[in-house]
Amino acid sequence: MTKKSRRSPNRQPRGPRATALRSDRPTFTPGRFGSGTTEAAGRILALAPPDALIELALPFLLCTIQVGKRANVCVDSVLTLHHAYQLLGLDSEVWPVTLEVLTPSGTPKASYGRKDPYWEGSSFYGHCLVELPGRTVDPTIQQFPELTRQGDGPFVGRTVDSSDPGARSRPGAIIYGQRGDVMVRYTVCSAEARETMISGHPMMTSPDPVHQRSAVMLATLLMDALRSEGIVERAREVPHQRVVELLDVIGDAPMENRPVAGGGMGDLWFNMPDGQGGMVPRHLDELLQ
């Protein structure tokens, strides 16, 4: 079978749209975040062991929030997830990758991303994901036509290039995963490619209020869910001290949500005691100060 190489820009919310197009950029129609992710997120919260609970729950919650939307938003989703992991005390990094779709026999069927990712204005040409110690997380895998399977949700794979379960994937590392009846093969791009990605747009290097705010809202949703009966016992056993500390600080304080036009997370906060018999709204990041 002839190998196909398809690349689609991941549009970003700010900056002018790029007008200069390269001739080496065939496109595809991006898939959407599937509705089955909502049910999957519930199963993860109910069943995931403590050592995987936060790592798995955050990307599935993120995809649940975006159900029905086009999934070619890897930079937006990865930055939101990256900041949310960091907020909860996890060591997170963003890396560019290439992705190959393989038949059951191992024959390449399609490829995405670039070894030499680049920016044009606010558009990123390439693909990226989140690297955690021992795990690789791709929240937007559903954008690729061969991988758009209702209910599959994000990709969360184990790092396999080291005997150390907490090791990170190094440049050139390969991560395999199963997706329905096909295999996926990620290859981590070079350190130079990562530098091109990170330095190519201000939101990658400077404090970015849009993605940081989204991360706070995402982490708030998770912390609220972790307080639930049948979940909180496992949540208190996660190997992330900040999560346990936040559970103690939040207690049973009510969470409130101010919806925003067009859906999404809205503005979320906890009503905390003010020490004088009243209540004061506090965002999650404020509770860490």
Strands (DSSP E) found in 103-220:
108-113, 118-120, 123-125, 127-132, 135-138, 155-158, 174-179, 182-188
pLDDT, tens only, 270-283: 999 998 999 999 99
Residue 35: what pLDDT? 84
Question: What pTM was computed for the model?
Answer: 0.88
When mean pLDDT is compared across 74-88, 146-160, 168-182, the lowest value belongs to 146-160
Whether the predicted pLDDT of 144 surpasses 60: yes
CB 232 within 8 A of CB 247: yes
Between 170 and 270, residue with greater pLDDT: 270
Residue 156: what pLDDT? 94
C-alpha closest to that of 131 among 177, 87, 71, 85: 85
pLDDT, tens only, 223-246: 999 999 999 999 999 999 999 999
Between 160 and 149, residue with greater pLDDT: 149
Residue 193: what pLDDT? 97
pLDDT band at 1 (very low <50, low <70, confident <90, very high): very low
pLDDT band at 288 (very low <50, low <70, confident <90, very high): confident
How is residue 107 written in tokens? 């024959």
Max avg pLDDT among 144-158, 170-184, 211-225: 211-225
Residue 166: what pLDDT? 65
49: amino acid identity, one letter = P
